[in-house]
A and B are shown apart, each in its own frame.
Chain A
């Protein structure tokens, strides 16, 4: 089930967020149930008024789970690059989930700025995993710019709408020379399975788990869905047909009137 990004092997194809959980212990239990070994984290100003608050990092076992800092909430290439550099220093790794947003309502990426930021950070030695549209051309440009993986959205962040354009996702996977991770849009287990059945390398989600009624149970569901979807992809599904094809033999039927 493992896969490789930029030479690093991950046991799980499910990447999970750390935001919006009801509590830190629930987050920790959900991460455990998901089987993930990579979680995303955001970089924000320290609240200087709130002293003694337990750090998020106390709830993440970094011996088992790799931290992927993001640049969520950045609307310019410059802000995203600054945030990535701070995330590098805070996390002591050069990996970044690169987000440059273009619109507050849809949280769709600004692909032009995303490309600019990708080029800058790749030049600085970052392993860049950009969050992008389900656009095969943009994904190709990001790969050409040196992205270590491409992460097209399935649907808007936090929407839970599922994979809106499976055809594009499968075209992106077909043409990509780097891993493809569907990032955002998953609402429930079947959405994750559908993404994996398209052949992508992994799925990244936050809200679908964190905001489920039972996040820990949903995390387990997502684990199974991602594994199931991957196995189905590897197994090779049957072709779709318009009419039935009997599963039981037609010969040896006891009915005299059988099929002539």
Chain B
């Protein structure tokens, strides 16, 4: 079933059921290189596969970039 989430500030349609791990895989991201926030709460790496993505979720996926 398709659901709509906010991904890094933009709306995005994804198919559910979906968990964070599956979302990262779908996006082609290495889970060891990113950090994820779901509805303003950090999702620990160890529970990506157990954390569902549901309709209306605000997901932020961040990584380290150069900075001072």
Q: Which residues from chain A sit less than 8 Å from chain B, CB to CB?
A: 17-21, 27, 40-46, 48, 51-52, 55-57, 67, 69-70, 72, 82, 85-91, 157-158, 184, 204-207
Select one of B29, B64, B68 contacting A43, CB under 8 A. B64
* C-alpha spacing A53/B59, complex, angstroms: 21
Interface set, chain B 29-46, CB cutoff 8 A to A: 29-30, 33-37, 40, 42-45
Q: Residues 3-40 of chain B: 1 if any A CB is under 8 Å from the residue's CB, otherwise 0?
A: 00001110000000000000000011110011111001
Q: Which of A44, A86, A157 has the most CB of B within 10 A?
A: A86
Select one of A18, A82, A91, A204 contacting B66, CB under 8 A. A18
Contact B61 A45 (CB under 8 A): yes
* C-alpha spacing A46/B36, complex, angstroms: 10
Select one of B28, B36, B64 contacting A57, CB under 8 A. B64
* C-alpha spacing A4/B16, complex, angstroms: 49
Contact B35 A90 (CB under 8 A): yes
Q: Dominant SS at the A interface?
A: mixed
B1 within 8 A of A: no
Q: Which of B35, B44, B66 has the most CB of A within 10 A?
A: B66
B62 within 8 A of A: yes
Interface size class of chain B, counting residues whose CB lies under 8 Å from the partner chain: 20 to 34
* C-alpha spacing A90/B28, complex, angstroms: 17
Q: Which residues from chain B sit less than 8 Å from chain A, CB to CB?
A: 7-9, 27-30, 33-37, 40, 42-45, 60-68
Q: Which residues of B contact A43 (CB under 8 A)?
A: 35, 62-65
Known: A46-B8, A86-B60, A86-B62. A51 touches B68 (CB 8 A): no
Contact B68 A17 (CB under 8 A): yes
* C-alpha spacing A51/B34, complex, angstroms: 13
Select one of B40, B61, B68 contacting A40, CB under 8 A. B68
Contact B45 A46 (CB under 8 A): no
Select one of B37, B45, B66 contacting A19, CB under 8 A. B66
Q: Which residues of A contact B33 (CB under 8 A)?
A: 55, 57, 90
Contact A45 B35 (CB under 8 A): no
Select one of A52, A87, A206 contacting B35, CB under 8 A. A87
Select one of A42, A88, A205 contacting B67, CB under 8 A. A42
